[in-house]
Amino acid sequence: MRVIFGFLVLDKPAGPTSHDCVARVRRAYGLKRVGHGGTLDPAVTGVLPIALGPATRLLPYLPGEKAYLATVQLGVRTRTDDLEGAVLQKCPLPSHLLWHEIEAALSPFLGSIAQRPPAFSAVHVQGQRAYALARAGQDVELSPRCVHLHRLELLSWDPSQGTLQLAIDCSAGTYVRSLARDLGEALGCGAALANLRRTSALGFQLSQSVPLEALMASPPPLLDPLEVLVHFPRHQLAPGDWEGWRCGRAQVAQTPLASGDPVLVVAPDGKLAGLAKMADGFLQPRVVFAAIG
C-alpha cells in the first residue's frame, strides 16, 4: 500500500481560510492526516505549505522565516489595521511626501523590534483568541513582542492614491498589519494594510506552488521531503544501523555539528528515515519513520 508522504505548496487565493484549504487537500488525497504551516488570513494570498501524511511531523522543524509583498494605504485608520475592518478615521496625506522620507520612516522597523499585534488577531488572551474578544466589543490591548525584519524595501510609491508597496522578509510572528499601522503613525497620517501576498514560508517559494483549483483535477504530485529540506545536513545510515534507528537508538555523528542542530537521517535505501538533533556528539532521534518497538 502506497503511503502518501510529502509536501504540497498552495498558492492560496483570497477568500478561503487556511482551514478551508486543508479540508480541500484532505478530500483531494483521501487523507485525514494533513497540516499546514503558517495561517493566512482569508484576504491574504500566496504560499501556504501543506504537509501530508508522516510529513506533518516535520513541520515544527522547518524554518519560520516568511516573505511578503504588501500594499499599504496611507491616510486611514481601521479597527483591524487593514481595509477589511471598519474605518475609524480618515486623515489627509502629508503634503509632498517624498520617497526618501518614506524610507526614513521605514528604517526604524528594520531589524529586531517590539511589535504590538493587532487586536483582531489569533493571539491568546486569558484563554481566548484576541479577535473573539474584539468582536464582542471588548477593548483589546496586546503586549508588544519581539520580531525581526530582515528586509524592508520600498518598491513603489503612488502619491496620487497614497499607496506604497513593500517587500518584507521577516521572522515568524510578524504582523504586516501592525507594520502598516505603525508606519502610518510614524508618518502622522495613519495607514492600513490594503493587500498582502506571501511569497515564501517555511523554506517554500511561490515558484513551487500550485493553485487551489488544481485539486479539482487529479491531485498534484507531492514534493519529496528530501528534495525540499536541502538546507539540513544529512546522515546516511549504514545497513547495520537501520534496525537500531527504527528502535530509537542514538547514532554516532559522521561530522561535528553544533548541539541542537537538526539533521535529516537517510535510510540505507536512500529514503528519509527521520530527523535527529545533535547532542554530545550523537544524533538523538526526534522523528523516526517506520519505527518499531
User: What is the C-alpha to C-alpha distance for residues 177 and 96, in angstroms, rounded to an integer?
Assistant: 25
Assign domain 6-63+202-226 to its CATH superfamily. Pseudouridine synthase (3.30.2350.10)
pLDDT reported for residue 126: 56
- Position 133 scores a pLDDT of 47
The answer to whether the Cα torsion of 131, 132, 138, 142 is positive or negative is negative
Q: Where are the domains of the chain?
A: 6-63+202-226, 66-201, 232-288
Q: Given this model, what pLDDT does residue 1 score? A: 52
Which CATH number is 232-288 given?
A: 2.30.130.10
CA atoms within 13 A on the CB side of 34: 22
In whole angstroms, what is the distance from residue 68 CA to residue 198 CA? 4
Hey, do 6-63+202-226 and 66-201 end up sharing a CATH topology, with the first three levels equal? yes
Q: What does the pLDDT read at residue 165?
A: 98
In the numeric block, the cell 537501520 is attached to: 242
Structure confidence at residue 142 (pLDDT): 65
Catalytic residue IDs: 41
pLDDT digits (tens, 9 = 90+) for 140-165: 676 788 999 999 999 999 999 999 99
- Whole-model pTM? 0.90
pLDDT at 137: 56
What is the CATH code for 66-201?
3.30.2350.10
Q: Which residues of the chain have pLDDT under 70?
A: 1-2, 119-140, 142, 293
Q: How far apart are CA 213 and CA 71, in angstroms?
A: 25
